[in-house]
Amino acid sequence: MDTLSYKTQSAKEEELEREWHVIDAEGLVVGRLCSKIATVLRGKHKPTYTPHVDTGDFVIVINAEKVRFTGNKLDDKTYQTYSGYTGGQRSKTAREMLAKKPIGVVENSVRGMLPKNRLGRKMFKKLFVYEGAEHPHEAQQPKKLEL
């Protein structure tokens, strides 16, 4: 009988090495961009991916105001918020969101693609979105991530 036993290796939080990635969102489609961001935040792009551990990397998104929607989504897609009070439900179209808070478009989309639990909230904190081409994370030496 063969005495070799192969065991699946689980990633441990203290052994992880996180990288920083910067993505230029100019001219990219929102859904495709955000699904790639969510994959990197979760760590699914790494061979050490473990579902119950946050193995993901940090992601910096620049030029968030220059993302684009396909089809008629600019006018048809709505973002809803609810305060909890009677009559407290508000909605904005994608065009209004891009004009007033373009960061919210990317953040909202990525948040919807992450797990809805403690782990997902922890992953979301590794996302940094900026409207312009500048970001304050040069000290982390982020690598450019091509999509």
CATH number for the domain that contains residue 129: 3.90.1180.10
Q: Element (H or E) spanning 22, and its range?
A: strand 20-24
> Is 77 contained in some domain?
yes
Banded pLDDT at 147 (limits 50, 70, 90)? confident
Instruction: Look up the domain containing 132 and give its range.
Output: 18-144
pLDDT digits (tens, 9 = 90+) for 84-124: 999 999 999 999 999 999 999 999 999 999 999 999 999 99
Does 1 map to a domain?
A: no
- Spatial neighbors of 142 by CB under 8 A, at least 6 apart, are 20, 21, 22, 58, 60
In a domain, 136, yes or no: yes
Domains of the chain: total: 1
